[in-house]
A and B are shown apart, each in its own frame.
Chain A
Amino acid sequence: MRLGILRSTAVASVLGIAVLASGCAPGGGGTTGQNPSPSTVSTDISGSGPVTLELTDFWAGVEGEWIEAVIDDFEKKHPDVTIERTTEEWGQLNSTLNLKLQSDDGPDIASANNGWQSLGTLARGGLVRNLDPYVEAYGWGETVPPTIARQNQFSTDFTTMGTGSWFGTPMARTALIGLYYNIDELKALGLQPPTTLAELESAAAAVKAAGKTVFAYGSLDGVTAPLLGVQAALADKTALGSYVYGDTSVKVSDIAVAEAAKVVGDWASKGYFPEGYNGIDYNTAIANFKAGQGVFRWEYTGSLGLDAEQQKHFGYTQLAQSSGSVVAVGAAPAAMVISSRSEHPDVAAAFLDAMMSPEAGQRAADLGLVPALAPDATLPATSGTLVEEANAAKTLDKDDGYVPYFDWSSPTMFDTLTQQLQLLYAGKSTPQTLAEAVEQDRSAFLAGQG
């Protein structure tokens, strides 16, 4: 017994010593609250001498080909500069980027996820640079639509997102939420592609009456695209943006959450979704749509993976609001950041500028990706769907009609939306309850922000 006490005392003291040894408070791995931002910046990097920059991103497949092409173009233009690229899976990079940026041999440039979950946390921790001097030097404020620019902005006291200094940059590509349709099926039913939510409702009723599945959809995972797509067609764009960016004067009732949830919930109860949709996972739903089961599908652009032949059979439409203007959930596929530890910020900034150039947009179009910030990009004539997607992006660039991804409003918002939609479909929740859960999630997060 005495030995037992001795042993537990020993263990306790070892643990105690370990606690003391590891410092008094966690954190401070970065230079907290200090985002280095040199007073003299240069857009002329010809005198930089040989420089090697490390880039870490999460792009594979065609997206990987795009960034490789942009790097090649940049290196040709600046023979002194070498960009060494490493790539990691999206979730993996998201969960380790904060550690990488604290390391001495970490990347100079990285792709981060927008919102507080990643970009905001990195900026607040002082791990990424304040890019304002470069915004001024390169004139990014003029070339980037304000609704896209603010997705990368944070106040320097890090209480507010969507305003203040730039901590990341977009790129000459975009990802929108919109409505895809099966061209052949619509034609067979004698229907026109819908341009408004009302037209979609009547087309949907006609499809259902003809005994076909209206929406290719599964709610097992990846459930939020229809809700957010409908919300963009209903909500006031300024209010929705302000809500996501944490403006507490805007309430959940101002941004059509309950209304959109009602529309989508009604689709479920009217049988517009396939049988057993609650058990269909995301990839199966996409495969079903491409196989012709379901006339419409809400989806993020670029996620269907349509090849040249399939592009002839699927169309894309961005529903206009009842006022006639087009609003859509859209953003660059990532926020590009420069590490606070980078020794060559001028060169890194020049590369970010190249990623936003019309040439990079053309590279995207050539590869079948939706270009942005490149109004004159020419699209391959064979890519039917891409032309429509790109036209939607062009309209949004022109109208400045982007609203941010809703899940940026708090780190847990995506989980909340998924859970609440599944409850709604099962009849265990109402659109009103869903909206309340959204509000509760955001206020809990904002309260913690201080």
Chain B
Amino acid sequence: MLSTDEKTTAPHRPAPVVTASTPPRRPGGLARRRRLTGLALAAIPLALYGAVVLIPLAQSVRYSFYSWDGVGAATWVGLRNYASFATDPVLRSTVGHVLVLVVFFSVLPIVLGLLSAALLARGRSRGMAVYRWIFFLPQVLTSVVVALVFRRIYALDGPLNSVLQAVGLGSLARAWLADFTWALPALGLVGTWATFGFCMVLFISGTTAINPELYEAARMDGAGPVREFFCVTLPGLRGQVAIAVTLTVTASLRTFDLVWVTTRGGPGTSTLTPAVALYRAAFQNPQVGLAAAIGVTMAVLCLLIAVVVTRTAERD
């Protein structure tokens, strides 16, 4: 491999006599051989990937066309499991809930992250690393711990209501996670809190990579902070924003642990997400086919989002 590489990439070197006397190899043969060698080296990881990812994935796709209790014989139902997204109002509502969560898990943290990155990029102050560390902390905590902490914060006699009462807003106090209107936004804000630090650190590290001359040029041209943000910082962070969007949106589509630990989808079905519905179908009620259909739909959505985001970010 190495010798052929050297040959093709470093033509200025004196070629060995042996090769000079033999006719030049056709590039196609060379490429094919290299590809085969590469494939051979990748065979073991590929086989492993196939066994633990591709085959289960294919199985899930297959299960999704059946009505199956996980034990006995399965009946072919075609696309009926997928049609549940349209016919079952509860399952349909989970899609709406997840869209609300996208706003809180993705849009808000990215906007706030950009804002703080823009503010911090303009001047360096002492102790920056400490602030970043503090804001990044939620990203390090286990999601179950975060969920338990917020269950306490949102409780009727929890800190949030105590603060409201202390400032004379006692009439607003409620059991936040048991309120049909407020439970979903309350859970969403937990997501905002958890992902904001991640977005901010990502964007700050991105701004350090932007050529300072661009800022100087913008300032010399008389750009204010707002103009500077839109003309220099934001375009420079395009790649980081793409990463943040992909990670946070797919994370919000997969929201399970936060809901499971706090509300289990309640009150009523007001915080039910597709992932929780999937878990119930697969492990609590014998509806493996439906669970597979939910899983496949979510996987396809995540894949689509990832493709669209990378394509958009790469376009010039």
Residues of A with Cβ closer than 8 Å to B?
Answer: 14-16, 18-19, 21-22, 25-30, 32-33, 91, 94-95, 98, 102, 116-117, 121-122, 124-127, 219-221, 275-276, 278-280, 411-412, 415, 418-420, 422-423, 426, 428, 448
Q: How far is the CB of B171 from chain A (nearest CB, A)?
A: 14
Interface size class of B (residues with CB under 8 A): 35 or more
Asked if A117 and B285 sit within 8 Å, CB to CB, the answer is yes
Asked if A19 and B287 sit within 8 Å, CB to CB, the answer is no
Contact of B66 among A26, A125, A280 (CB under 8 A): A26
Name the 7 nearest CB pairs between A and B, nearest first.
A279-B175, A125-B71, A18-B58, A411-B285, A276-B156, A278-B178, A95-B283
Q: How far is the CB of B199 from chain A (nearest CB, A)?
A: 31
Of residues 139 to 173 in B, which have CB atoms within 8 Å of A's CB atoms? 155-157
Interface pairs (27), CB distance under 8 Å:
A15-B54, A15-B57, A15-B58, A18-B59, A19-B61, A21-B55, A25-B66, A26-B66, A26-B68, A27-B73, A27-B74, A29-B71, A91-B283, A95-B283, A98-B70, A102-B71, A121-B71, A124-B69, A126-B72, A219-B267, A220-B266, A278-B179, A279-B176, A411-B286, A411-B287, A418-B266, A426-B268
Asked if B266 and A419 sit within 8 Å, CB to CB, the answer is yes
Q: How far is the CB of B78 from chain A (nearest CB, A)?
A: 13
Asked if B175 and A276 sit within 8 Å, CB to CB, the answer is yes
Bound-complex Cα distance A127 to B263 (A) = 35
Contact of B266 among A91, A127, A221 (CB under 8 A): A221
- Given the known inter-chain contacts A27-B68, A117-B284, A426-B267, please indicate yes or no for A18 contacting B74, CB distance below 8 A: no
Bound-complex Cα distance A30 to B70 (A) = 10
Is B238 close to A, CB under 8 A? no
Bound-complex Cα distance A122 to B72 (A) = 8
Asked if A279 and B178 sit within 8 Å, CB to CB, the answer is yes
Is B225 close to A, CB under 8 A? no
Asked if B62 and A127 sit within 8 Å, CB to CB, the answer is no
Bound-complex Cα distance A332 to B226 (A) = 70
Asked if A18 and B55 sit within 8 Å, CB to CB, the answer is yes
Contact of A279 among B68, B156, B288 (CB under 8 A): B156
Chain B residue numbers with a CB within 8 Å of A279 are 155-156, 174-178
Bound-complex Cα distance A126 to B177 (A) = 43
Between B57, B72, B269, the greatest number of chain A beta carbons within 10 A of the residue's beta carbon is seen for B72
Q: How far is the CB of A383 from chain B (nearest CB, A)?
A: 34
Bound-complex Cα distance A122 to B174 (A) = 44
Chain A residue numbers with a CB within 8 Å of B50 are 14, 18
Asked if B74 and A121 sit within 8 Å, CB to CB, the answer is no
Chain B residue numbers with a CB within 8 Å of A428 are 180, 268
Chain A residue numbers with a CB within 8 Å of B62 are 19, 22, 26
Chain B residue numbers with a CB within 8 Å of A422 are 178, 266-268
Chain A residue numbers with a CB within 8 Å of B230 are none
Q: Which residue of A has the minimal Cβ distance to B269?
A: A419
Chain A residue numbers with a CB within 8 Å of B267 are 219-220, 278, 422-423, 426
- Given the known inter-chain contacts A220-B177, A278-B175, A278-B178, please indicate yes or no for A95 contacting B69, CB distance below 8 A: no
Is B133 close to A, CB under 8 A? no
Chain A residue numbers with a CB within 8 Å of B157 are 276
Between A25, A98, A418, the greatest number of chain B beta carbons within 10 A of the residue's beta carbon is seen for A25
Asked if A26 and B71 sit within 8 Å, CB to CB, the answer is no
- Given the known inter-chain contacts A122-B71, A276-B175, please indicate yes or no for A26 contacting B63, CB distance below 8 A: yes
Is B131 close to A, CB under 8 A? no
